[in-house]
Amino acid sequence: MAIDYSGPVGQLTGWWERALCAQIGSEPFFPEPGRTPVDAKKICQSCEGRIECLEYALANDERYGVWGGLSEEERRRLRRSA
């Protein structure tokens, strides 16, 4: 699974232009089944667009991959607790 850069995310400015994932590619952020997202989460921790990325993922119900430093399950838990 890869980020579709032609859709709404690709049209964003600001945080998306500064996002580390946009500079290195989406592969670490969509790990194969059974693989851990630890590498993606480490990258997210040093990304200045992390908060905006998470807000985007929650607002657009992104169900796959690591967004804003949170995995799919972590975002589901966050939604449930909200």
Does residue 21 have a known ligand-binding role?
Answer: yes
Burial of 52 (0-12, 13-18, 19+ CB in 10 A): middle
Does residue 74 have a known ligand-binding role?
Answer: no
Give the DSSP H/E element, type plus range, for residue 81: helix 72-81
Burial of 7 (0-12, 13-18, 19+ CB in 10 A): exposed
Does residue 15 have a known ligand-binding role?
Answer: no
Does residue 44 have a known ligand-binding role?
Answer: yes
Distance CA 15, CA 21 (A): 11
Q: Which residue ranges make up the annotated binding site?
A: 21, 44, 47, 53
Q: Which residue ranges make up the annotated binding site for [4Fe-4S] cluster?
A: 21, 44, 47, 53
